[in-house]
Structure 1
Amino acid sequence: MTERATPIERLSVLPTFEELLQTVAEMNTPDGFKAELIRGKIVVSPFSKLRYYRPMRALRKQIEAHAPEGHGADTAPFLFRFSASERAYGPDLFVADEAAFDGEGRHADGAALSLVAEFTSVSTRDADWNEKLDVYGLLVPVYLVVDMQDSEITCFWDPSPHGYRSRKTVSFGEPLHVPEPFDFDIDTTGF
């Protein structure tokens, strides 16, 4: 699959956020791909490369051990909606209130998230560092950007109406503190 925009048809009236969400829900996305709503467009991108497995697994195990009560850590392909921003993302790794999965719908509320981690790739790096940072920074308590191209991990925390107020970056191999509601140091030596 090519990594460029390909218009399907020209519309005279743009679809609403809810219509786009419905379209994503009805898509038969090929195995190994996920669909998200980024910048008002449906974007289909491949799952992570094989070399991402070990750092993703190591991070999930560490985070899971420190997740808030009633929250679960996972890498399952769930779409979280951010209605105020008209966005919906399927994070690479997330921690969310398990009650968010009790309903019959297809999209969990982004307010249920306590942590999101995105592992950058050539095709998603811009969205992870800009688009998603802006949206997560309004609501999600902790956002981790695992920059696989620069071998660094950045922790953003303290969301506000203007985005995250705090951040810290370390190179792989150095510990990174994750603040409340987790309050522990990530061991990045295996990344």
Structure 2
Amino acid sequence: MTVMLERPKTIDVPHGSAGFQELCRALLSLDVPDGYRAEIIGGNIVMSPWSRGGCMRVMRSIRAQLDPHAPQGHFVDHAPSLFTFPGQGRAYGPDVYGVASHVFDEGEDEFQFDGEALSLVVELTSPSTRNADWDDKLPVYGCAGVPVYLLADMQEKHTTVFWEPSRDGYTKRRTAPFGDKLPIPKPYDCVLDTTDFVRP
């Protein structure tokens, strides 16, 4: 009897330092359990559960409100996807994101995408991710040029929007408590109603 062995598949990783490429290979080789996501944060692979429960209500509300205002050729979604930032050695799976639709048509990769295609990133904090959302992701998204970063702090019950990215991070921010309306700057240029963010 002849045993046929499957040939190892080459894993395509983004450009970046050798260390970042090795982390990407390790991350993409992981068997991530259903309901979890794996990201590269601060030089480490971090696995955390996807938002659920009340957070899903908030994510659906954000998507429904912002998608009609997405720039031409972009859409807003909350499907699991990994966006890479090779220059900063990071790869994130945002809770909600606005992205150029063409990135999903390029190549055969169905999971890993270029962070430069993002027009919006939304993160909902949890006790396990709050520090990363504020301390690691905030400066990376800003330095990478993501036009709008919306951070819903589920522990402090307020939403902060950051815009005008620069090499040093975002230069502008505005915060509103859950239940208030929050203006979202260009390229979305709309008002987000956070009434649905308040638990019934």
Q: Structure 1-normalised TM-score?
A: 0.90
Equivalent pairs counted in the alignment come to 177
Q: Decide which moves more: 46-55 or 161-170.
A: 46-55
Tell me whether 1:178 sits opposite 2:181 in the alignment.
Answer: no
- 2:26, 2:80 → 1: CA distance? 16
> In the TM superposition, what whole-angstrom CA distance separates every residue of 1:66-119 from its partner, at most 9, and x where no partner exists?
001111111111100001101000000000001111222342110000000000
1:124 alignment counterpart: 129
Equivalent residue for 2:108, pick from 104, 108, 119: 104
SS at match of 1:100: helix
Tell me whether 1:153 sits opposite 2:159 in the alignment.
Answer: yes
Structure 1 unaligned blocks of 5 or more: 1-14
Equivalent residue for 1:144, pick from 133, 146, 150: 150
SS at match of 1:177: strand
| Equivalent runs, 1:1-20 vs 2, <5 Å | 16-20=19-23
Q: Structure 2-normalised TM-score?
A: 0.86
SS at match of 2:169: coil
- 1:19, 1:179 → 2: CA distance? 37
> How much has 1:49 moved relative to structure 2?
3.0
Equivalent residue for 1:35, pick from 33, 38, 48: 38
- 1:95, 1:170 → 2: CA distance? 21
The amino acid of 1:149's aligned partner reads: Q
Q: Decide which moves more: 176-185 or 47-56.
A: 47-56
Highest CA radius of gyration, 1 or 2?
Answer: 2
- 1:186, 1:178 → 2: CA distance? 7
> How much has 1:47 moved relative to structure 2?
1.0
1:83 alignment counterpart: 86
The amino acid of 1:51's aligned partner reads: G
1:12 alignment counterpart: none
Structure 2 unaligned blocks of 5 or more: 1-17
> How much has 1:153 moved relative to structure 2?
0.3
RMSD: 0.9
